[in-house]
Structure 1
Amino acid sequence: MVKRFNTPKLCALGILLALAGGQALAAPAMGSPADSGVINKERVLYWLIKRGEIAEDASDETKAAAVAAFVARAKSSTPAMEQIKAQEQSLASKARYAQKLRSQYQQVDDADVTKTVKVLGVLVDFPDLPYNNNRLTAGDTDMYYSSYPAIHYSQMLFSASGFTGPSNQTLISGFQYFQQASGNTFFFTGAVRDWVRADNNAAYYGGNDPSNEDNDKAVPELVLEAVTKAVAGMSASELASYDVEDPYDINSNGNLNEPDGIIDHIMLFHSSIGEEAGGGVLGADAIWSHRFFIQSDPSAYGKAIPGTNLRAYGYTVQPIDAAAGVCTHEFGHDLGLPDEYDYDPDGDGSPVGSWSLMSGGSWTGTVAGSEPVGFSPYARSFLQREYKGKWVKEQEISLDSLNSAGTDFNLVEGVNANGVNQLSLKVPSEPLPFKAPYAGDYQYYSNKGHKLNNAMSFNVTLPVVDSLTLKMRAHWDIEFDFDYMQVQVDGTPIPGNHTKATSYYEAGRNVITGSSANIAGNEGPDHWVELTYDLSAYKGMSKQISIVYKTDEFEGGYGIAIDNLSIVSGSETLYSDDAETSDKMMLAGFVRTTDTRPGNDRRYLIQLRSQNGIDKGLASHGYSPGVVLWFENFDYSDNNTTEHPGYGLIGVVDADQNLIGTRGTDVQIRDAAFSIRQQTAYAGDTNLGPVSLFDDSLDYSAPLKPQAGMILPELGLTMEVIQLAANNSTATVRLKKHDGSVPEPTDMNVSVGVTFSGATANFTSTVTGGDGNYSYFWDFGNGASSTQANPSYTYGNTGTYDISLTVTDGKGVGVTVTQQLSVTVPVTASFSQSVSQLTVSFTNSSSGGDGNLSYTWSFGDGQSSTAASPSHTYAAAGSYTVTLTVTDGKGVSSTRSASVTVSAPAVTPSDGGSGGGSLGWLATLALVLAGMARRRQA
């Protein structure tokens, strides 16, 4: 579980309060939270028995109670809002950067963007628990090794080829995991320093502090101490390579890819089993794996590392026997992701289970935690938005485009980054309960959210009187100093009785911020306050009065509600608006409402999950592959289903609503995937038949196990799996909406028209009906075709052609019409020639007619030919007129004539003295040789 403080705001807020003479925020306690998402109850029980804290033959109830007591501190650790702060802080800084570089990103496709991080790995042991005398034996952990050198962690985190497991098998590394999860666009790199020893025994750092929610006492102190020792001796340039990011945009220049004086990523491993897995020989004095920060006074980020010019701030902590699962899970927090499990370790668990790394998916694998699974669609969308690359390839579907005819959508498995691997279907939001108006039935409300710039305004002509005062009743909860409300006159903010002169942002002048509950004299449980603004300076003028609500990208309250607005002069009311009458106020983001407020975005998300790639680990937990339907609901900021069963930020819709005994949610949703095939076998599960259809009119709330269920809106929506590859690598789903809000398509009618320009036919199509999303296929009757709506085609031959047009709409409904076309193409005689002395070669290029052409050649010397492209040798040099007559099968003919000139070959004269040329020479040579032979014989 991640717990972060919004440090940029914390720093500024502390300074402002100090300057104002108020009490600055105290530095948070140095304790650290427990991440309940990494609890391994089986190992907790193992160590309770091994340490003798519970008898091996104790009853199941006794054992369960002992485990629950041991992990109980995770229940109170890290409130949900602290978790969300981390996500929002990351969102905000990256959003600022993306805004400034928008023009650059427009030049680069998201899929082409890559991201590289460099992690500093630090190993620390304790005087009472050295790493090389850790007191572990083979049965104590699935990740047991006889030794744990630095190279082991380096390979586990950063190897491109995996690392050696405890049984000499090859296991996935952190680098490989993030490569697969991101479609090879995220590079997880770094190095691990050798073991260093802490100054104090383990309990000094990992002992539980009863005065601080039983959090570990001093882990941030240990991190700073260990990092200081680990980097000692490193050159400045080597250390600087771990500071290449500015995630909080400290210098406010919008560039997040530059040094900020803080080590970017610290991963610390300690020499004990983690407390979340029983704590090994240390028990409750062991450190619980988590993601956290080194706090300091509000004016700084983290603490300086002695002997360097860098600081240590954010970190993750893992145990000596960590597998890739816990490392990637904790680094997911580093990337800005929240946990997706229920925070209460005694509860049944949220409906995410092992389907996501940020829940139980960090413990999957034949060796627990060695095969972490992929991310939830919520997490994938977050990572894609923040880091670009290929974390997800999503297709958005409009609910309004669906009807009872159904539309088919294709999916590739989630581990395939090269096709559509996620479908998104936004559904309408629902009003949420809110506070009642001050009076009457209606009030004005700013709305709640990030990056808002909402306003409401009215025009008024102010009389010439001694005093003019704008009054209103309001209550508010606005993030102090960073979000604010202003009253503006023609765009200029004016002061009021409860305004603050300045805020964190330059434009924030004369603002309402903080909480009306802190204003003395506020009324009632909703803390209504009267706000007043002096308008006397504008008497005799016509002005626009605006109430503006602005928020940044960080956390915030519900906003501001306003009622009973008026302009008065003394006891006389000159203008009033009690929100009871519509259209009196111009609204731009504000709403006129009763005791409800608008809900937040909600959507269905559809994935195909196989057991391939990084989803291989699903098999180890008995999870059946198939199409997984999720529901994302931003009315909730967490998955703490103990508090809100059936609802949460993100959850899986369980296809099989048959309970598997009394098991927790992690087991209940192992058969959540929709499929056309039998489920995989699982002990205690007797309902293994396939479920291929989702219908939102059915109950998916699991009423006997409500934390495993999802309460969904009824929209008349169905989803059916109609195709699924044998290896679950591809699927087709059919979405339908049955409420009749979208008119059903009428039958398609298709007609064609044609006009001619010579041999060129110009075709037109007229289509009505269907869903309007047409595709076209023309067959021109001679093997040629076109997919244009209104093509043109030039025919080469006279004849009758059976042309056809097939039109298909977006539902796959096709209509074909045919038409017989008579085409007349004139016969045209044409040829070319090439001359070689007395020989001429003719090339026939005649065309047209009915295609059945015959040829008559006259060479001008009394000779002729009927060949298509003949050659002819003339007897004598000279110029000749050649005529070609072409006739088609219907007797239509065409003639062309051309002049050709030929010449005789050149004759080489003899020299008159050889008496026979070469033969004479050969005869002479033969006589000479014969004479020489006779002389030898003599």
Structure 2
Amino acid sequence: MPSGQLSHVKYYLRFESRTELPERSPPLRRLLATGAAISLAALALLSSPAAAAAPPAAPPPTAAGDTRDREAVAPPPAPLELQRQALRRQALEEVAAGGAAAGLRAEADGTLPRTAKVGKQYVELAQERKDKVFVILAEFGDRTDPRFGGTPGPLHNTIGKPAADDNHTLWHRDFDRASYQRQFFSTDPGSASMRAYYRIQSSGRYDMDGTVTDWVKLPYNEARYGTDNCTESGQCRTNWDMIRDATAAWYDAERAKGRTPEQIRAQLAEYDVWDRYDADHDGNFDEPDGYLDHLVVVHAGKDQTWGGGAQGKDAVWAHRWFAYWNQAGTAGPEGNKAGGTPVGDTGIWAGDYLTGGENSGAGLFSHEFGHDLGLPDLYSSDGDNSVNFWSLMSSASYLGKGPNTTGQFPGDLDPWSKLQLGWLEYTEADAGRRTRAVLGVSGYNTADPQALLVHLPPSVTRTELADPYEGASQWWSGTGDFMDNTLTRTVDLPAGPAVFSSRVWYDTEQDFDFVTVEASTDGGRTFTALPGSVNGAPVPAKGLSGTSAGWAELTVPLDRFAGTSVQLRLRVTSDGNTHGRGAAFDDLRITADGGRELLRDGAEQGANGWTALKWSRTEGRTGSEQHPRAYFVENRRYTGYGSLLKTGPYNFGFTGDKVEFYPYQQGVLVWLWDTAYSDNTTKAHPGAGLLLPVDSRPQALRFADGSLLNARAQTFDAPFSTRPTDRVTLHRAGVPLVIPSRAGVPDFDDRHGTYWNADLPQLGVKVPDTGTHLQILKETADRATIQLTPSAP
């Protein structure tokens, strides 16, 4: 991109009519023209009293502060979701890289395409459609399981009315079907629905509707499904049984009404029109795949995110997952056996789902629905980071408009999450180059872009491996969390025996990260892990795991594929916890009967027919990876859902359940996107993460006794601005801390500024020195004019 040139990337609306709209049309007028408009009243609701139609619940009380310490460890993504995220991450790294991004702009109007091809697989980049969401209301039965115990129920409408001094919990007398229909799907003026939220976040590119069932009764009590007594990471798999029993109870209730399986199937077929994982690998995501597209199970009682109410640790955590994914290959609809549970005799299955408690509101359900669309959590899985109320995918799922509305409204998505979904209208610039940009508000499209994406030089990491088995190079999988990295080629096998052999070296987390050799006979639609031996011992069913003692000899028979063309791939996967250095392969051979070599590759001859997804060839024993980086610069204002930053942030500053509310500040928020990291767990890597907002005032806020203010409040004044901050008073156990109004900080400079503080190691950001200086020239109610210049020497 030439110095100083701005590339203005705009998205347009594509609903059922697929009508393209004129350039520069104000987004709300564009939406009205398409017949899929965001109601102006949906924006007005954020400056009017909260609707009482769909009152959700409040976050759990924490006496020491308002940190999200009740958040469950997220369950590990199912393999298909892990693969989807890896493909999307690979594609969007090109956006961060800048110059390569042009390869993604295949459409005539210069926008990112809806899909991209990564290797031989397709990934969906833009969620531009109208979805249908199926919501089941489920209360618990009387049966108990002796393994888990617990009390019967709960039934719905048994959550007690909040005490007089509880000003954060939402409650109403009747959580009936109509209240949830409004909470999820209402478009009425003043509604606080999940549908209204996503229409505004997407600026009308995405819409939903659906149905909410009557309450159905599960056979067991909540402890049977919600127990924490399991050995799995994250939520227990007993949660899956709740999905199985909820769908079965609904189906049985419909049959009891006299409906036939064919009638029920016809209804559910309306909820299966999206091929989420491109099961047939044709790049067409707008087709059925045999699974409900979006399934929500609302369970009776408080979920454990809110403390669990009377059920406590027996309560189900709010989460999103794929039921029985471990049965992939044997269970599922005909032609797409990805696991799941059948919905009666309809032939349609439930796989992906999300769940939350009876008094969980649009905030929490919008957060979990973000996962359903493919967004990861941005809060830390261990400790704190700086995101907090700045994104729905962290604490902004807990916002409101004052007393007893906490969680009723979700806060805005961050710009990176909108980019993931194809909803961000942005402008681009290069680090250290002179550029001026005018930004509109970040919450929704205006005539000005929502964000500025500043491309930075990539970071480089080097990993020491074993010396190559032969020659000067070896194939290396790369390393990191949430890996799903593959090296694939097509092989035409002759009739008769054949064998794949290789030298393999691996360093992975035992029993959690795996190295497999896989084959596909259907053009890459499905792959099967192949049995074999390593140093003469059988390869475990899940694959190689742990650490090899130097180079090992791997042998995989291919006799079963004799006379066919197969895709053969090497695959390395990892979870979101500890990871090793990955896997290396050298001296790869495919040998036919009689010793005839069909392939011999020592990673010395370039790609040599392989398609690499995150694999690379090393120079000697050192593996090298480049990681694109970028700044997002956005203009946060009290408009749309952004107004909730003025009324919604809260602090447990007193004894009991009383909270105090305080405003997050307006201004220009700078985020660092660093693809060297796959999570925001800054306790493991202080000052660094996948996506972190930079705090313009990284100095620690302390009470008179020297103790620190809680993490959520520390970043309330993170934005850069020409204007002074508000005077804010917060408490801890009733003791006040007065934070005076402070002068605005209008300049960000990654060469001379310091935005990480050792007193708050998990909250600051260690920005790279790219010579980028950003200055705010002007701020109005809906615009910010900024200038990028090279930093001073």
TM > 0.5 = yes
Structure 1 residues 717-736: aligned runs within 5 Å:
717-725=772-780, 727=781, 729-736=782-789
The 1-side partners of 2:451 and 2:550 are apart by 45
The aligned counterpart of 2:82 is: 85
The aligned counterpart of 1:669 is: 715
The aligned counterpart of 2:154 is: 129
The aligned counterpart of 1:695 is: 749
The 1-side partners of 2:182 and 2:552 are apart by 61
The 1-side partners of 2:80 and 2:393 are apart by 13
Report the alpha carbon displacement of residue 129 of structure 1 after superposing the two structures with TM: 2.3
* Secondary structure, aligned partner of 1:317: strand
Q: Contact 1:350/1:639 (CA < 8 Å) preserved in 2?
A: yes
The 2-side partners of 1:515 and 1:673 are apart by 56
The aligned counterpart of 2:203 is: 183
Report the alpha carbon displacement of residue 594 of structure 1 after superposing the two structures with TM: 5.4
1:352 alignment partner, one of 387, 398, 403: 387
Unaligned runs of 5+ in 2: 1-55, 93-103, 115-125, 142-152, 332-338, 490-499, 539-543, 557-566, 590-600, 609-615, 650-662, 703-707, 730-736
The aligned counterpart of 1:396 is: 428
The 2-side partners of 1:517 and 1:721 are apart by 60
The aligned counterpart of 1:704 is: 759
Q: Does 1:475 align with 2:516?
A: no
The aligned counterpart of 1:288 is: 317
Structure 1 residues 181-330: aligned runs within 5 Å:
181-212=201-232, 215-216=235-236, 218-231=238-251, 232-233=253-254, 235-236=263-264, 237-295=266-324, 297-298=327-328, 299-300=330-331, 301-330=339-368
The aligned counterpart of 1:411 is: 439
The structure showing larger relative contact order (alpha-carbon pairs under 8 Å, at least 6 residues apart) is 2
Q: Contact 1:84/1:338 (CA < 8 Å) preserved in 2?
A: no
Question: 135-144 or 679-688, which moves further after superposition?
Answer: 135-144
Cα displacement string for residues 323-343 of structure 1 (whole angstroms, at most 9, x for unaligned residues): 110010000010011100101
Report the alpha carbon displacement of residue 90 of structure 1 after superposing the two structures with TM: 7.9
The 2-side partners of 1:196 and 1:516 are apart by 50
Q: Does 1:370 align with 2:436?
A: no
The 1-side partners of 2:234 and 2:89 are apart by 31
The 2-side partners of 1:182 and 1:527 are apart by 51
Q: Contact 1:117/1:187 (CA < 8 Å) preserved in 2?
A: yes
Report the alpha carbon displacement of residue 688 of structure 1 after superposing the two structures with TM: 2.2
Flag the 1:506–1:176 CA change in 2: closer, same or farther, 3 A. Answer: closer
- Which protein shows a greater Rg? 1
Q: Contact 2:182/2:191 (CA < 8 Å) preserved in 1?
A: no
The 2-side partners of 1:660 and 1:646 are apart by 18
The 2-side partners of 1:476 and 1:549 are apart by 19
RMSD value, Cα: 4.6
Residue 688 of structure 1 aligns with an amino acid whose one-letter code is R
Report the alpha carbon displacement of residue 724 of structure 1 after superposing the two structures with TM: 0.9
Structure 1 residues 734-773: aligned runs within 5 Å:
734-738=787-791
* Secondary structure, aligned partner of 2:277: coil
Flag the 1:516–1:160 CA change in 2: closer, same or farther, 3 A. Answer: farther
The 1-side partners of 2:319 and 2:785 are apart by 40
The 2-side partners of 1:611 and 1:151 are apart by 31
Flag the 1:674–1:198 CA change in 2: closer, same or farther, 3 A. Answer: same
Flag the 1:113–1:504 CA change in 2: closer, same or farther, 3 A. Answer: same
The 2-side partners of 1:107 and 1:116 are apart by 22
Question: 134-143 or 693-702, which moves further after superposition?
Answer: 134-143
1:653 alignment partner, one of 683, 694, 704: 694
Structure 1 residues 516-531: aligned runs within 5 Å:
527-529=550-552
The 1-side partners of 2:676 and 2:238 are apart by 35
Cα displacement string for residues 86-142 of structure 1 (whole angstroms, at most 9, x for unaligned residues): 7527849999xxxxxx99965896699841111111111124322244444465663
Q: Contact 1:325/1:370 (CA < 8 Å) preserved in 2?
A: yes
The 2-side partners of 1:214 and 1:364 are apart by 25
The 2-side partners of 1:664 and 1:515 are apart by 53
Normalised TM-score (structure 2): 0.66
Residue 425 of structure 1 aligns with an amino acid whose one-letter code is V
Structure 1 residues 845-856: aligned runs within 5 Å:
none
1:151 alignment partner, one of 178, 183, 186: 178
The 2-side partners of 1:612 and 1:644 are apart by 34
Structure 1 residues 461-610: aligned runs within 5 Å:
475=505, 502-503=519-520, 506=523, 527-529=550-552, 561=584, 590-592=617-619, 595-610=622-637
Alignment length, in residue pairs? 597
Cα displacement string for residues 256-281 of structure 1 (whole angstroms, at most 9, x for unaligned residues): 22222221111111120111111112
Q: Does 1:43 align with 2:61?
A: yes
Identity %: 26
The 2-side partners of 1:630 and 1:287 are apart by 33
Q: Contact 2:747/2:775 (CA < 8 Å) preserved in 1?
A: yes
Question: 246-255 or 297-306, which moves further after superposition?
Answer: 246-255
Residue 88 of structure 1 aligns with an amino acid whose one-letter code is Q
Flag the 1:431–1:118 CA change in 2: closer, same or farther, 3 A. Answer: same
1:623 alignment partner, one of 644, 664, 676: 664
The 2-side partners of 1:531 and 1:592 are apart by 23
Flag the 1:181–1:578 CA change in 2: closer, same or farther, 3 A. Answer: closer
Report the alpha carbon displacement of residue 445 of structure 1 after superposing the two structures with TM: 5.0
* Secondary structure, aligned partner of 2:715: helix
* Secondary structure, aligned partner of 2:302: coil
Flag the 1:657–1:337 CA change in 2: closer, same or farther, 3 A. Answer: same
* Secondary structure, aligned partner of 2:634: strand
Residue 411 of structure 1 aligns with an amino acid whose one-letter code is L
Q: Does 1:383 align with 2:421?
A: yes
Q: Does 1:425 align with 2:454?
A: yes
Flag the 1:520–1:129 CA change in 2: closer, same or farther, 3 A. Answer: closer
Report the alpha carbon displacement of residue 426 of structure 1 after superposing the two structures with TM: 2.0
The 2-side partners of 1:670 and 1:515 are apart by 56
Report the alpha carbon displacement of residue 675 of structure 1 after superposing the two structures with TM: 0.4
Flag the 1:693–1:519 CA change in 2: closer, same or farther, 3 A. Answer: farther
Cα displacement string for residues 790-819 of structure 1 (whole angstroms, at most 9, x for unaligned residues): xxxxxxxxxxxxxxxxxxxxxxxxxxxxxx
The 2-side partners of 1:630 and 1:409 are apart by 17
The 2-side partners of 1:131 and 1:610 are apart by 39
Question: 264-273 or 123-132, which moves further after superposition?
Answer: 123-132
The aligned counterpart of 1:643 is: 684
The aligned counterpart of 2:50 is: none
Flag the 1:249–1:93 CA change in 2: closer, same or farther, 3 A. Answer: farther
Q: Contact 1:484/1:549 (CA < 8 Å) preserved in 2?
A: no
The 1-side partners of 2:529 and 2:231 are apart by 36
Report the alpha carbon displacement of residue 155 of structure 1 after superposing the two structures with TM: 0.5
The 2-side partners of 1:409 and 1:450 are apart by 38
Q: Contact 2:305/2:317 (CA < 8 Å) preserved in 1?
A: yes
* Secondary structure, aligned partner of 1:658: coil
Residue 314 of structure 1 aligns with an amino acid whose one-letter code is D
Cα displacement string for residues 22-67 of structure 1 (whole angstroms, at most 9, x for unaligned residues): xxxxxxxxxxxxxxxx99764366xxxxxxxxxxxxxx6xx999x9
